[in-house]
Structure 1
Amino acid sequence: MAKTYRDQVEIDATKEGVVKFLSEHRNGGLLLDIAEAMESLVMAATATGKGGIVTIAIGVKPLDSDGAMNVADDVKTKLPKLPTPASIMFATPNGKLMRGDHRQAELEIEHLPERDANVTRLPPVSAPRSL
């Protein structure tokens, strides 16, 4: 069934009411929270190449029979994360983790002398041209 002009006017009025509520609730604080959450999400999605979610919850509770309402909101963001890099550790007999294998002897590392400053570097040789 096609929407009539009256149906469209009612829908537009409802939209205007929601937009007005969003701009007036907490003096625009809800819209600011949503904007900040969206910025964080877009930046994280761009950095990770993964998606995330912004969830907006609005609770309404009657205060009295005169039509007063207590309105609360909650804006949550689930940002995408890059995987945390893993490391390889070795278990000791007493249940601790160590970076090196406690069963292996340590290698003594000798430092090489610094390069002689008078060493001349040769220019790179280009490959021969093919015929």
Structure 2
Amino acid sequence: MTTETTEPGQVRPFAAVLGELRHGAVLDQASVDLQALVAKVVDTGKKGKLVLTVEVGPMKGNPDALLVNADVKTTAPVVTNEAVFFPDRNGNLQRDDPRQAAIPGLRIAPGTDRDNVKDLSL
């Protein structure tokens, strides 16, 4: 239990209140989730989201007390397994467009991963 009081008009920092929820576990979880989300965003090049929801409600049987609950949810970017293929006349899929003429002497550089293409559209 905290003994900290605030003067009228003084606003207690939001982080201080969150730090007391489950003895700081909410802030710890939000930190871990944010770090994982950042890693996924960097890895995929797509955006993600972290939402912290704080719910405040009256406590039954005690009109002077409030119940405070916090929930952390992340929406991480999804890595898709899609790749571009072209159908030939027989309905078979291939990586190169069969309708496009080949350019003589053009080749793929060694060590290039054709599936390692990032979508830069936001």
Q: Where on the TM-score scale, by shorter chain, does this alignment land: which range?
A: 0.5 to 0.7
Please give the secondary structure, in 2, of the residue aligned with 1:80.
coil
Match of 2:70 among 69, 73, 88: 73
Measured in 2, the distance between the counterparts of 1:60 and 1:22 equals 12
Matched, 1:33 2:43: no
The number of equivalent residue pairs is 78
Measured in 2, the distance between the counterparts of 1:74 and 1:22 equals 11
Shift of 1:60: 1.2
Measured in 2, the distance between the counterparts of 1:72 and 1:61 equals 9
Measured in 2, the distance between the counterparts of 1:78 and 1:39 equals 13
Higher relative contact order (CA 8 A, sep 6+): 2
The TM-score, its normalising length taken from structure 1, stands at 0.51
Considering fraction of residues, name the structure with more helix.
Answer: 1
Match of 1:23 among 19, 29, 32: 19
The TM-score, its normalising length taken from structure 2, stands at 0.55
2:89 is matched with none
Structure possessing the higher radius of gyration over alpha carbons = 1
Considering fraction of residues, name the structure with more strand.
Answer: 2
Q: CA RMSD in A?
A: 2.5
**1:32-51 alignment runs, 5 A limit:** 32-51=28-47
Which structure 1 segments of 5+ residues have no match? Answer: 1-9, 89-131
Which structure 2 segments of 5+ residues have no match? Answer: 1-8, 86-122
Q: Deviations over 1:66-89 (max 9, x none)?
A: 421221121110001221236x9x
After superposing on structure 2, the runs of 4+ consecutive aligned residues of structure 1 that deviate more than 3 Å are none
Matched, 1:62 2:65: no
| Same amino acid, percent of matched pairs | 28
